[in-house]
Structure 1
Amino acid sequence: MTTLSDQPKQGQDARAGKAPVVRGHYIEHWDAEDVDAWEAGGKDIARRNLVWSVIAEHVGFSVWSVWSVMVLFMPFDVYGIDAAGKFFLVAVPALVGALLRIPYTVATARFGGRNWTVFSALLLLVPTLLTLWLMVNPGASYTMFMLAAATAGVGGGNFASSMTNINAFYPQRLKGWALGLNAGGGNIGVPVIQLVGLMVIATVGNTEPYLVCAIYLVLIAVAAVGAALFMDNLGNQKADLRSMLETLRFRDSWILSFLYIGTFGSFIGFSFAFGQVLQINFLAGGDTPAQASLHAAQIAFLGPLLGSISRPFGGRLADRIGGGRITLYTFGAMVLSTAILVVAGSIDDATPGAASGTAMTALIVGFVALFVLSGIGNGSVYKMIPSIFEARSKTLDGLDDEGRKAWSRNMSGALMGFAGAVGGLGGVGINLVLRASYLSPAQSATTAFWVFLGFYVLCAVVTWFVFVRRTAAKEGAGQPIAVKP
């Protein structure tokens, strides 16, 4: 007679008997490359963790970018903060979020993916409540606004812990799609909070910004509770600071981190700045502050939305064609898109009155194209990371197949955190360059557009030289590669 004790445990498959065993949201041994275990139930566990990882990361991205929305509610005559001050204000959370990505990378291995996701979600309450308080007290000092913006950086750290965690759950053959979906679902938190801001402005005007924060207090609670109920901790997940330091011994780790400045740095930097650039241009065209806020909000969400959607497809294309090639094509297209911005800025600088409509159309087209391309590049660069270490693991001596898999997984997770931190600094750079450009005698963004164009040319050259031109030689020599595995 079969008793309850004879029944398969949660996560096990009675036929195969090889599925991971889940006890109290803890999985002692996880091997995503074990096809039998994956098909017997492992893929369902991975999918469940991916869903709630995306939700928690999504809310984190929204809170990280909350000040890109708040500045649209801050007319100078009420808050006393000019355009330059606003660009600096949105650069602060970008900086803090980038720096936090390093400790957040090792947090999932140290505390467990589920445990850290719950904690990091609840931590988002701090910046949300501070922002709410400041927006109903516009007389607060600029220092207080800076401090509140800095706390929003915790939302940026969520990306690193989420990506490291999901990297451990999925096999190499599916990492491009899984990591792209996880990151894209998180990235889409940027346009979503901008849409929430648009709805508030459209319904009650630009005088009730606290409503945006109130909505996100509820969403933070949903993310934390969902992660507590449906996510799991992995017992054999490792990504400590020693692993991160070890990744930095490889030249390609530094190069990929640099390229990520051009992809993710562009996405997050433009996400924070796009609304302000639009608002400035609408004000220059004769809009009132309220009209400029509404018109900017109606457009600003579109770029981050398309950039978020395109990210998983960048990972999928990299799975099929190769991360190096897709990244090269992406940077080439980003050069052309930035050239459109340069032309738009030059036209507007030369004849602002007569050509403002043409320049505005070109500005929007150029920015939206950059968002889409940066999303594709995000997916392809992150696909390159596990590919590099999978190839490198095959050259290691003294390790069995299981040891090579573990080394590749741990190193990939560690580099994702470091590359994410370096890439996030690109968002700081974009806002500081735009701030300096608007403070120049021309008081326009054209100089900043020239800087961006030159940087993308450099990224394209580096990608071609390191990951495309010498692909065949690297494969033959067994060196780290970033092509289709």
Structure 2
Amino acid sequence: MRRTRRSGMWIQRWEPEDERFWKEEGGERVARRNLIFSILSEHIGFSIWTLWSVMVLFMGPEYGIDPAGKFFLVSMATLVGAVARVPYTFAVARFGGRNWTIIAAGALLVPTIAAFVVMEPGTSYTTFMLCALLTGVGGGNFASSMTNINSFFPLRKKGWALGLNAGGGNIGVPVVQLVGLAVIGAGGGPRVLLGIYIPLIFVSALCAALFMDNLATVKNDTGAAKEAVRDAHTWIMALLYVGTFGSFIGYSFAFGLVLQTQFGRTPLQAAAVTFIGPLLGSLIRPVGGRLADRFGGARITLWNFVGMGAATGVVVIASMRESLALFVAAFVVLFVLTGLGNGSTYKMIPGIFQAKALQKGLHGEDAAAYGRRLSGASMGLIGAVGALGGLGINLAFRQSFQTVGSGTGAFVAFLAFYAVCFCVTWAVYLRRATPTRTPDSGQTPDAETEPRFTYAQV
């Protein structure tokens, strides 16, 4: 494997679908090393992105901010994180995966240091809002990291690799909440939490510089971006990702506030529970990818939405009955299902574009290259729209609490949306999963039925 120095470490030849290259020439070893340090960077990025889900727990009456104002703070962090995912996706091709990881990690210092400076009573709401907006850069890390790792692994390994990468990043959410719990429990203030993360950001950037690589085969391709925008599957998958990842990140931001506002939990009591759902949802994400590798992402996603709908129904009942134990149990199950669905939906993306390549008559490395090109370009758009689902969830909670004083109305809306996602998954990818002409007829599937047969396996 040949490397050249060009503002960093660049790999000139990368053919992961070639079994000899992958096993005998060290491709697998290099891909795994890049995956490990990509996970580290994305993990810290998620922690900083969701920082304000913990910061608001420190903000007692002396800060003068009501629950609606707190929901709006975390909503703005979600918004910027979603928007940042689009340019972060294409930055990998422009600067190189390793180089951009260093830049993205360094950018996390800005919101962390800013919050360290201003986090005290008497600071204006506008200042807090600006700091929350700045943490959105941490949300962009996901898009660049997933796009980069997608290029390193062969199609048969993408579900597991992308699941590990995303799951390891997602764990940044419960970890920052656990650290916040420890700080609150020890009687420390928010600056203690921020002081813990500042050196970790430096470690993340240093590890990326020392141990990651750039792929010269991943070039800036505006044509791929335009083609991805025009492809209907990009937007269909974005809708499904709103249902899975949008739910995960939205609930991660809102869970503690809901417990405080609707059930009267103290900051310590809320923090003691808040991390459980995001932790389990993060850990299960690679399992969702693995199941999708084996049984097909569309099938796993379909039945996952059934489970999410059932869990949300129980949450609605618990909310109406004001049963804290049932509410927390059902909410944790819902978190687990969002994580499972995150893994299965993201596995579908490269599979869909690989299927389109075969439909176009491409084979072998040509089909694999087409799939990597289009799936990499679409992932940022899908990730950005999916993250906007988190914004929608927090705004829905804000409106529900302002209107009826509880989150029940918001949960009913989420239940209806999961039903829509179920119907779309079934109609687009599974409704006609078998050829309309039977094998007994002696005829082969026509052009209209073959793509659907293929998509059912993604």
TM-score range, shorter chain: over 0.9
Show the counterpart of 1:260: 241
Matched, 1:52 2:25: no
Distance 1:223 1:387 in 2: 31
Residue 139 of structure 2 is aligned with which of 133, 149, 156? 156
Residue 471 of structure 1 is aligned with which of 425, 433, 442? 433
Figure out how many residues of one structure are paired with residues of the other and give that number.
443
Residue 27 of structure 2 is aligned with which of 42, 59, 62? 42
Alpha carbons 2:319, 2:408 under 8 Å: kept: yes
Distance 1:400 1:329 in 2: 32
Residue 182 of structure 2 is aligned with which of 199, 204, 211? 199
Shift of residue 469 of structure 1?
Answer: 1.4
Matched, 1:393 2:357: yes
Matched, 1:407 2:370: yes
Alpha carbons 1:323, 1:482 under 8 Å: kept: no
Distance 1:113 1:406 in 2: 17
Show the counterpart of 2:442: none
User: What does 1:216-365 correspond to in 2, within 5 Å?
Assistant: 216-238=197-219, 240-283=221-264, 292-348=266-322, 359-365=323-329
Show the counterpart of 1:439: 402
Residue 70 of structure 2 is aligned with which of 86, 95, 100? 86
Residue 100 of structure 2 is aligned with which of 92, 116, 128? 116
Unaligned residue ranges in structure 2 (runs of 5+): 437-444
Residue 13 of structure 2 is aligned with which of 21, 29, 32? 29
Show the counterpart of 2:380: 417
Aligned-partner residue type, residue 90 of structure 1: V
Alpha carbons 1:244, 1:418 under 8 Å: kept: no
Alpha carbons 2:68, 2:401 under 8 Å: kept: yes
SS of the residue 2:200 aligns to: helix
Unaligned residue ranges in structure 1 (runs of 5+): 1-19, 349-358
Distance 1:75 1:110 in 2: 44
Distance 2:435 2:58 in 1: 55
Show the counterpart of 1:8: none
User: What does 1:361-380 correspond to in 2, within 5 Å?
Assistant: 361-380=325-344
Give me the TM-score of the superposition, normalised by structure 2: 0.94
Distance 1:33 1:435 in 2: 48
Distance 1:127 1:106 in 2: 23
Aligned-partner residue type, residue 450 of structure 2: G
Q: Deviations over 1:368-396 (max 9, x none)?
A: 01110000000000010011111111132
Distance 2:451 2:226 in 1: 19
Shift of residue 159 of structure 1?
Answer: 0.2
Alpha carbons 1:315, 1:380 under 8 Å: kept: yes
Shift of residue 264 of structure 1?
Answer: 0.3
SS of the residue 1:472 aligns to: coil
SS of the residue 1:31 aligns to: coil
Alpha carbons 1:68, 1:275 under 8 Å: kept: yes
Distance 2:171 2:3 in 1: 31
Show the counterpart of 1:5: none
SS of the residue 1:471 aligns to: coil
Matched, 1:484 2:433: no
Aligned-partner residue type, residue 299 of structure 2: R
Alpha carbons 2:262, 2:407 under 8 Å: kept: no
Show the counterpart of 2:440: none
Alpha carbons 2:262, 2:405 under 8 Å: kept: no
SS of the residue 1:281 aligns to: helix
Distance 1:239 1:327 in 2: 31
SS of the residue 1:364 aligns to: helix
Distance 2:268 2:262 in 1: 13
Q: Deviations over 1:68-99 (max 9, x none)?
A: 000000012x1111100000000001111101
Distance 1:471 1:253 in 2: 20
Distance 2:263 2:359 in 1: 57
Shift of residue 282 of structure 1?
Answer: 4.2
Distance 1:239 1:111 in 2: 9
Give me the TM-score of the superposition, normalised by structure 1: 0.89
Show the counterpart of 2:130: 147
Show the counterpart of 2:88: 104
Aligned-partner residue type, residue 403 of structure 1: D
Shift of residue 347 of structure 1?
Answer: 1.3
Distance 2:417 2:424 in 1: 11
Aligned-partner residue type, residue 45 of structure 2: G
Distance 1:130 1:45 in 2: 36
Distance 1:96 1:188 in 2: 20
SS of the residue 1:23 aligns to: strand
Shift of residue 213 of structure 1?
Answer: 0.7
Q: Deviations over 1:198-217 (max 9, x none)?
A: 00001115xx1111111110
Percent of aligned pairs sharing the same letter? 55
Alpha carbons 1:269, 1:431 under 8 Å: kept: yes
Show the counterpart of 1:13: none
CA RMSD of aligned residues (A): 1.5
Distance 1:324 1:122 in 2: 37
Shift of residue 483 of structure 1?
Answer: 3.6
SS of the residue 1:222 aligns to: helix
